[in-house]
Amino acid sequence: MYARLMLAFALAIGLSPVAAQDNYPTKVVRIVTAAAGGGGDVFARLLSVGFTNSFGQQFIVDNRGAIALELVAKAPPDGYTLLISGSPLWLLPLIRPSAPWDALRDYAPISLATAAPSILVVHPSVPVKTPAELIALARARPGGLNYAAGTLGATPHLAAELFKSLTKTNIVQVAYKGTGPGIIGTMAGEVDLMFPNAGSVMPHVRSGRLRGIAVCSAKPSPLAPGLPPLADTVPGFETISPQGLFAPARTPPAIINRLQQELVRTLGSTDSREKIAAMGVEIVGSTPAEFTARIKSDIARMDPVIRAAGLREK
């Protein structure tokens, strides 16, 4: 009886949960990222301006380093703490089972906002120009080719392991402290090949310091004109560097849907399109359901690859 009376009172004065969601937001909203200066940070700042203008309430960027993912997982599910993250959010727990979060349990996916396809590149001294030629060379010389992994567990590393798995080749990993050093090492001829994202590597392909072999999106990409999809030769191959927007799990669907709609509107503006193109990424703007399906598919595809490569920590 008391609960029913309180609900009736809330409805009478306009403080029902639905009304609260309709009035969202009524205070500052934080968009949390892992690090300042990276792609997630740049994208978060673009969104913060667009959201602030459209919602009439301030959205601020909060760079929280290594604790960003756990912080948002434990935040109240009220729409006032959001997260910008890429695939480490759902793939790192496959490598590190002790990770204190689960992408599908602890977060509400809002939208896969942008994506940059990986590019398969080789040093110009490697005598191949097509994916088929690279596969043939790798099979002819087991263990004779190597690749720059960049940060272990990041997209360039996992893309190479997926390539090895699907092509049944033996290419040796060489670890570097990040994608940038890996690209430099590949250009210097320290390693034979790499799978960096389009934005970071296409300038070097255009300059001739690296040879582009294929783009790793499912279809041809305007970010890598003239490069065929690797999936044409290796069916099922696709790797992208994504940026998505998340809220804590159990955030009301009305808030999730409104944020998704405003994200799509923000990304559709001329200013946003120009800035995102300059970053070397493509606009996606998926629905929450599409983003969730993408995460589930990625986990199902990469879990056996990670296990076979011996990347899963004990």
Tell me the pTM: 0.88
| pLDDT confidence of residue 13 | 40
List beta partners, residue 148. Answer: 174
Looking at beta carbons, which pairs linking 182-185 to residues 24 or more positions away fall under 8 Å?
Answer: 182/148, 182/149, 182/150, 182/156, 183/148, 183/210, 185/148
User: Exposure of 168 by Cβ count < 10 A (0-12 exposed, 13-18 middle, 19+ buried)?
Assistant: exposed
Domain that holds residue 135: 119-238
| pLDDT confidence of residue 151 | 81
Domain ends where: 238, 260, 284? Answer: 238
**Total of domains in the chain:** 2
What CATH code is carried by the domain that includes residue 219?
A: 3.40.190.10
Question: Domain check: are 225 and 257 in the same one?
Answer: no
User: Coil, strand, or helix at residue 303?
Assistant: helix
Q: Give 191's contacts (C-beta < 8 A, 6+ positions apart).
A: 123, 146, 147, 148, 174, 182, 185
Question: Domain check: are 222 and 192 in the same one?
Answer: yes
Candidates 93, 118, 292; CA nearest to 193 is 118
Question: Domain check: are 124 and 263 in the same one?
Answer: no
Question: Domain check: are 111 and 143 in the same one?
Answer: no
Q: Is residue 311 part of a domain?
A: no
Amino acid at 276: I
| pLDDT confidence of residue 233 | 97
| pLDDT confidence of residue 278 | 82
Candidates 235, 301, 288; CA nearest to 261 is 288
Q: Is residue 313 part of a domain?
A: no
Phi and psi dihedrals of 241, rounded to 5? Answer: -100, 105
Taking the chain (314 residues) in consecutive chunks of 10 residues, what is each chunk's mean pLDDT?
A: 38 42 90 83 92 96 93 97 94 93 96 95 98 98 95 89 96 93 97 95 96 96 95 95 96 97 94 86 95 96 94 88
| pLDDT confidence of residue 21 | 60
Amino acid at 12: A
| pLDDT confidence of residue 19 | 44
Question: Domain check: are 14 and 107 in the same one?
Answer: yes
| pLDDT confidence of residue 7 | 38
What CATH code is carried by the domain that includes residue 294?
A: 3.40.190.150
| pLDDT confidence of residue 66 | 86
Question: Domain check: are 107 and 245 in the same one?
Answer: yes
Q: Which H helix or E strand runs over 231? A: none
Domain ends where: 210, 238, 266? Answer: 238
